């Protein structure tokens, strides 16, 4: 698809871009691709067979998609798109304090119920597949975050991947299916205990989260003085946010856990909905403010910090300070031993404090514990602080007024906009949020974009190409 290829360079300054092949662009970007295509079709009435991706996407959700009087699904798809846009509009309007540095445990239910065949081929396969793309997308959006994976099976929990910032390691473990064979029942209590233990050493400055993918309908917890309610209280006390995605239905204890810990509880209707729910957890959550450690320094810098944030967080205390280092990249010369794995490797980075060699950034230095990041990571982590403002939907009259100001093509991808005069009245009646003219205008640079670019810019790129020129 030309659309995505055009913008591939935008994502290519990522250190981990080599994992993204074009067909498997994860998350919102792929959703944007599919959904956007249909939106484009709605406007352009193109007959390109490749654009029928939405047919597969929405095929099973009879309940959501209903044919309009002409027997076409266009309006239904468009209303779906509109819902997404409205959701984003709501989210963007509320300035929130968010954590850049996230530590998340993905707690994976590997009980017998994962072999259920209601997802094809099995829940297990589907979720592993999603997890692989999820992890990549997650690191893409949260370069400074770290992920660990815990699995629950046979009433035990086990750390599959310890907390770390390297998606490659996680992916390699996730691809080994033999080690992940589902069996027995899950124990939510053990899983949470394990996650809590694995995060106990982390500073309160970072956002502590767990994402539980729960397939079973019950949890088999150990007998004894400690109940799941105690564990829940500990989770609340240590401010670990718990998001739970259930594949089966509303389970009281899960709902209670996520509500008490400020997390989200979701029940997946089907595979696609599960994906949506998973991807909803990618943007950093609003933080519950932890007591700062470096009070003195914080106060000294408070004035400057508050000014920068433009009063949006006027009441909230300024953030805490933390130590980070920018590493020196080594040339791809001879092989040297790395500090993190003890293996001979080419290339790598040098810790600016202790000078030990690290394979990959971002990471915590094995030797001195310094957080080693590269400046693009840091920059990318800021995207949600300065989100691209929502583009204005252009009505027919607006286009008529300003038709001379902008060209007839999208500023992003050069696709031609539909001719204003040919637009039917019926299409213009779709719900608000979708432009009848197919144009969306940036308020700052006053450039027009098509629906696809609009989605791509807001969901993936996080910077307006017009403004940055």
Partner 1 sequence: MKFMLGDLPVLFPYDRLYPEQYSYMADLKTTLDAGGHCVLEMPSGTGKTVSLLSLIVSYMQFYPTKRKLIYCSRTVPEIEKALAELKRLMEYRAEMGANDGEFRGLGLTSRRNLCLHPEVSKEKKGKIVDSRCRDLTSAFACEKGRANPGSVPLCSYHEELNNYEAGNLIPPGIYTIDDVKKYGKEKGVCPYFTIRRMLPFLDVVIYSFHYLLDPKVAEQVSAEMSKESIVVFDEAHNIDNVCIESLSIDLTRPMLDSAARSVNKISDKIAEIKETDSQKLEDEYKKLVEGLQEANEAREDEDMMVSPVLSKDMLDEAVPGNIRKAEHFIAFLKRFIEYLKTRMRVLHVVAETPQSFLAHLKEITYIEKRPLKFAAERLTSLVRTLELTNIDEHYSLQKVASFGTLVATYEKGFLLILEPYETEHATVPNPIFHFTCLDPSLAIAPVFERFSSVVITSGTISPLDMYPKILQFRPVTEQSYPMTLTRNAFLPMVITRGSDQVPISSRFEVRNDPAVVRNFGSILIDMAKTVPDGVVAFFPSYLYMESIVSAWYDMGILSEVWKHKLLFVETPDAMETSIALRNYREACNNGRGAVMLSVARGKVSEGIDFDHNYGRAVIMFGIPYQYTESRILKARLEFLRDNHRIRENDYLTFDAMRHAAQCVGRVLRGKTDWGLMVFADKRFARTDKRAKLPKWINAYITEAHSNLSTDVAISLAKKFIRQISQPFDHTQTGISLWTLEDIERRQLQDKEDAEKAEEELKASTGKNYRNGTINGNGEGEGDVDVDYVMDDYEGEMDDDELARLDIPDDL
* Length of the chain in terms of residues written: 469
With CA atoms as reference, report the closest residue to 152 among 106, 189, 187: 187
What is the closest distance, in whole angstroms, from the C-beta atom of residue 207 to partner 1 in the complex? 23
Residues 353, 354, 360, CA angle at the centre, nearest 5°? 85
Of the pair 246, 363, the CB lying nearest partner 1 is at: 246
What is the closest distance, in whole angstroms, from the C-beta atom of residue 64 to partner 1 in the complex? 11
- The first and second tokens of residue 166, run together, are 């390297």
Task: Please state the separation of Cα 276 from the chain's center in Å.
Answer: 10
Of the pair 151, 410, the CB lying nearest partner 1 is at: 151
What is the closest distance, in whole angstroms, from the C-beta atom of residue 198 to partner 1 in the complex? 21
Q: Is the dihedral of CA 317, 318, 323, 327 positive or negative?
A: positive
Residues 426, 431, 436, CA angle at the centre, nearest 5°? 55
What is the closest distance, in whole angstroms, from the C-beta atom of residue 285 to partner 1 in the complex? 17
Of the pair 63, 424, the CB lying nearest partner 1 is at: 63
Radius of gyration of the chain (CA): 24
Helix axis angle, 74-93 to 27-44, nearest 10°: 130
Which positions lie near partner 1, rule CB under 8 A? 63, 118, 185, 188, 217-221, 227-229, 246, 248-254, 267-269
Of the pair 118, 432, the CB lying nearest partner 1 is at: 118
CA distance 447 to 388: 13
Of the pair 178, 252, the CB lying nearest partner 1 is at: 252
Q: Please, which residues bridge with residue 372 across strands?
A: 325, 363
Of the pair 207, 215, the CB lying nearest partner 1 is at: 215
What is the closest distance, in whole angstroms, from the C-beta atom of residue 162 to partner 1 in the complex? 27
What is the closest distance, in whole angstroms, from the C-beta atom of residue 112 to partner 1 in the complex? 8
Of the pair 227, 299, the CB lying nearest partner 1 is at: 227
What is the closest distance, in whole angstroms, from the C-beta atom of residue 246 to partner 1 in the complex? 7
Cβ distance 465 to 419 under 8 Å? no
CA distance 225 to 230: 9
- Number of other CB atoms surrounding residue 311 within 10 Å: 9
């Amino acid at each position: 698809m030309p659309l995505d290829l055009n913008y591939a360079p935008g994502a290519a300054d990522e250190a981990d871009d080599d994992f993204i092949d074009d067909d498997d662009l994860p998350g919102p970007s792929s959703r944007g691709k599919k959904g956007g295509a249909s939106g484009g079709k709605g406007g352009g009435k193109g007959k390109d067979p490749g654009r029928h991706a939405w047919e597969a996407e929405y095929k099973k959700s009879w309940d959501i998609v209903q044919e309009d009087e002409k027997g076409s699904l266009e309006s239904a798809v468009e209303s779906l798109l509109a819902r997404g846009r409205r959701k984003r509009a709501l989210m963007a309007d509320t300035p929130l304090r968010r954590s850049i540095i996230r530590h998340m445990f993905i707690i994976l239910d590997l009980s017998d119920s994962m072999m259920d065949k209601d997802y094809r081929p099995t829940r297990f396969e589907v979720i592993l597949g999603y997890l692989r793309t999820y992890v990549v997308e997650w690191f893409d959006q949260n370069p400074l975050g770290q992920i660990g994976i815990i699995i629950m099976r046979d009433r035990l929990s086990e750390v599959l991947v310890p907390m770390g910032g390297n998606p490659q390691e996680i992916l390699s473990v996730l691809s080994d299916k033999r080690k992940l064979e589902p069996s027995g029942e899950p124990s939510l209590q053990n899983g949470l205990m394990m996650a809590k233990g694995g995060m106990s050493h982390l500073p309160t400055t970072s956002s502590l989260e767990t994402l539980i993918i729960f397939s079973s309908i019950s949890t088999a917890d150990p007998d004894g003085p400690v109940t799941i309610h105690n564990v829940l209280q500990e989770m609340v006390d240590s401010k670990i946010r718990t998001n739970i995605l259930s594949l089966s239905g509303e389970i009281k204890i899960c709902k209670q856990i996520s509500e008490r810990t400020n997390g989200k509880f979701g029940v997946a209707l089907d595979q696609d909905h599960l994906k949506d729910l998973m991807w909803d957890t990618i943007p950093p959550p609003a933080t519950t403010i932890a007591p700062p450690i470096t009070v003195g320094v914080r106060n000294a810098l408070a004035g400057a910090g508050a000014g920068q944030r433009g009063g949006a967080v006027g009441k909230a205390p300024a953030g805490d300070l933390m130590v980070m280092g920018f590493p020196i990249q080594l040339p791809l010369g001879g092989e040297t031993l790395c500090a993190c794995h003890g293996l001979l490797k080419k290339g790598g980075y040098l810790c600016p404090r202790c000078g030990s060699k690290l394979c990959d950034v971002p990471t915590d230095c094995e030797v001195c514990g310094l957080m080693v990041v590269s400046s693009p990571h840091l920059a990318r982590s800021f995207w949600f602080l300065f989100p691209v403002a929502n583009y204005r939907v252009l009505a027919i009259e607006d286009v008529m007024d300003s038709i001379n100001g902008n060209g007839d093509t999208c500023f992003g991808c050069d696709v031609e906009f539909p001719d204003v005069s040919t637009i039917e009245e019926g299409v213009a009646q779709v719900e608000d949020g979708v432009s009848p003219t197919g144009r969306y205008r940036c308020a700052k640079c006053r450039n027009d974009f098509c629906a696809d670019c609009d989605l791509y810019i807001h969901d993936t790129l996080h910077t307006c190409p017009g403004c940055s020129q």
